[in-house]
């Protein structure tokens, strides 16, 4: 039971909800980001029954680039995921959310110029995406276009220094 609780807690790190794409009056649609290993296929759409607490997988949007952290656009029409990889595949993906079904459709992907992007957030206006990358200490900003697509990188800040924990 402890391992199941840890698994759900771990998934919650990359989970966001969209109440607009509800499967029913007492349910909410959740989107769960994962590491694409050990059979995981990408971003899972999960229905949460708010009466019983039961979870059921409604579908999966395939992404083999470790979409581990997700951010929902303020208008709840778009979902963004980091592609926690290294090299040219490191970046972010933008998806549109089908209002009727809650399914995701890839809009575009952009590089973030930092290895292992691990966090993304969208500003309150929905016009900027902020991405941090653990590998290399890079923070980037990308514009969010009116159609939800991510624009070309507009800012890149490279941090330097060291961690007080020498083993890291």
Instruction: Give the closest residue to 14 by CA, choosing from 101, 93, 86.
Output: 93
Q: Which residue has the higher pLDDT, 105 or 85?
A: 105
d(CA 38, CA 133): 23
Instruction: State pLDDT tens for residues 93-106.
Output: 999 999 889 999 99
Q: Which residues pair with 72 in a beta bridge?
A: 79
Higher model confidence: residue 63 or residue 162?
A: 63
Rounded CA-CA distance 132/88 in Å is: 16
6 pLDDT above the threshold of 60: no
Alpha-carbon span 95 to 107, nearest angstrom:
5
- For the chain, what is the mean pLDDT? 84
Separation of alpha carbons 73 and 144, rounded Å: 9
29 to 19, 34, 78, 118, 125: CA distances (angstroms): 6, 16, 14, 23, 23
Residue 58 pLDDT level (bands cut at 50, 70, 90): very high
């Amino acid at each position: 039971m402890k391992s199941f609780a840890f698994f759900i807690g771990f998934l919650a790190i990359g989970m966001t909800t969209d109440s607009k794409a509800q499967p029913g009056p007492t349910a909410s649609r959740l989107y769960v980001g994962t590491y694409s290993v050990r059979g995981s296929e990408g971003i899972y759409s999960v229905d949460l029954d708010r009466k019983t607490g039961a979870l059921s997988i409604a579908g999966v949007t395939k992404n083999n680039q470790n979409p581990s952290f997700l951010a929902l656009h303020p208008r709840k029409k778009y979902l963004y995921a980091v592609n926690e990889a290294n090299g040219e595949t490191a970046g972010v993906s933008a998806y549109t959310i089908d209002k009727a079904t809650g399914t995701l459709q890839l809009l575009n992907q952009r590089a973030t110029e930092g290895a292992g992007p691990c966090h993304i957030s969208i500003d309150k206006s929905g016009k900027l995406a902020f991405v941090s990358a653990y590998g290399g200490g890079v923070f980037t900003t990308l514009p969010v276009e009116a159609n939800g697509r991510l624009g070309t990188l507009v800012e890149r800040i490279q941090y330097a220094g060291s961690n007080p924990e020498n083993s890291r």
